Chains A and B, each alone.
Chain A
Amino acid sequence: MQTTSEKIEGMDVWLYHGQIYIPNTFSAGATGSRFLTTIRDKAKITGTRCKECNRVYVPARSVCKDCFAQLKEWVEVSDKGTVLSYTIDSEPKPIHPTDAPVIYGIIQLDGADTGFVHMIGGADPEQLRIGMRVQAVFKPKEERIGSVLDIKHFKPL
């Protein structure tokens, strides 16, 4: 931590400049891990279905938000879907998974009832629109590690 004494509006003020560092390990849990490893091993996107509410969650989750049922039924959904919304981030930032500009989209895959957040790639920002059809582009098998980024992006159809 760096400590400085600065004159601010005529006052002699002590300032402490620091950075908070907190290590973090997050388990995707039983359901999330199965969703991710299925992408890694089979290049397939899956969801869990609530029989009661007839609703398919993608990404798969363990409990239905509406009826509290524990979701055990797995379904494969399409790798194609519809863009529900999107944004374009042109400012490069360390947290971005790819070079700017990054296009983030909410995509409803065919067979799913929920939006899935991912990147839209290989697209001209001018051609983007809500309702456009996109398809998942998977990384080659040897590069897939069990991350949601094993899907490289969704490309316009």
Chain B
Amino acid sequence: MANKVAIVGIGQTYHKSNRPDVNMPEMVGEAVRAALEDADMNIKDIEATFHANMETFEGIYMPDHIMAAEMGGFGKPGLKVATGGTSGGSAVCEGFYMVASGLQDVVMVVGYEKQDCGDTTAAITAALVPSWSKGAATGAIGEFAKQALSYMETSGAKEEHAAMVRLKADKGACRNPYAHLKLGLTSIDQVLESGYLVWPLRFLDFCPQSCGACVLILASEEKAKKITKKPVWLADVEVVHQEPFRAGTFGDPTGTETYTQHVACENIYKRNGITNVRRDIDLAEIYEPSNWEEMNLYEHFHFCEKGEGWKLIEKGVTEMDGEFPVNPSGGVIATNPIGATPIIRVAEAALQIRGDAGEHQATRDVKTALASALGGPNWTTLALLKREM
């Protein structure tokens, strides 16, 4: 049986399109110092660092070669991961494994992306296999456009429902001091009037490219009790891999394929006795680069029956003051510093459990939360967080 793992420190930078005032390590250092301050700890207390960044998205290969000092990782053990969109989620899993196994007691999980440096879509395009998909390369946007069309066709969702998801996200982002896009949207027409990025995905249907970093400090039960009065327990994590191409990347119109999301959530639900998701979990922070994908994920994660994701947003179930809030932070559609994004999901879920989310604190009491991530190489990572364990 795994040892208990607590989140004892949370730090993030503010997020925006451009940060020419800092280089990559300096930006990461801001989040590291914020997490240390949150935990009231010294860098000497950190035994190891696990960090996530999608190298080449900044046009720089092996960014870890400039990253030890500002990250506080000099002379310490650690690993770097680059698993696409899930990079930060993979790093959370690594940190969890090390503390749960008892090999380390206090570790730091760091994620960052500085997208003013490179061209993320160009880098994603370079990931495609020349023989099958090079000519069809439209980066992440094209994949999510196909997903949107599939979802529209199979579920019966209307563009209005996607617009409602965007409005919900923007409401959260406007209340979140760290969020990137705060648009102040007031009507679904504003979303429906925005132009097409890649049909049928509209400009306001998709996430921005953000610069930012997010850091978690994880500790064993014994250490956690000394560090904080409000530990949030990282009860469990799950990682599942799948090859994207043959299964259809983000949505199979035939509906016959199994997704990593299905496998991952069924595993974690089973291990933790979760049989009715909306009863047993109070809130979710999911990785939704587009509003359409958010509705799709409601279904994949069994927040509702298949084909009914759009009904959750229509009924207001997933609003900040709803029965089952999803992404009160504003989510990925408002803020996407890729390597940091899954760590922000876990961080935001933890803040909700601590009751420290401020203006975007969910109305209902949050004792248990789920955080997810997805990405191009089709990993799914999940984290289950609890106040009591």
Contacts and interface: CB of A to CB of B under 8 A. Distances in A.
A63 B29 contact: yes
B26 A23 contact: no
Interface stretch (A12-20, A100-108, A125-133): A12-20
A30 B22 contact: yes
B134 A24 contact: no
A65 to B, nearest CB: 4
Contacts, number: 76
B74 interface: yes
Which of A18, A21, A29: most chain B CB closer than 10 A?
A29
Interface string A1-36: 100000000000010101011111111111110000
Nearest to A64: B69
- Tell me what chain A mostly uses at the interface: helix, strand, loop, or mixed: loop
A10 to B, nearest CB: 20
A63 B43 CA distance: 12
Contacts of B198: none
B131 A26 contact: no
B71 to A, nearest CB: 9
B21 A30 contact: yes
- Tell me what chain B mostly uses at the interface: helix, strand, loop, or mixed: loop
Nearest to A16: B130
A142 interface: no
A22 B123 contact: yes
Interface residues of B, number: 31
A27 B117 contact: yes
Which of B23, B58, B59, B74: most chain A CB closer than 10 A?
B23
A62 B72 CA distance: 12
A62 B29 contact: yes
Nearest to A14: B131
Interface in A33-76: 61-66, 68, 70
B116 interface: yes
Given A1-B130, A16-B134, A24 B60 contact: yes
A30 B26 contact: yes
Interface of A: 1, 14, 16, 18, 20-32, 61-66, 68, 70
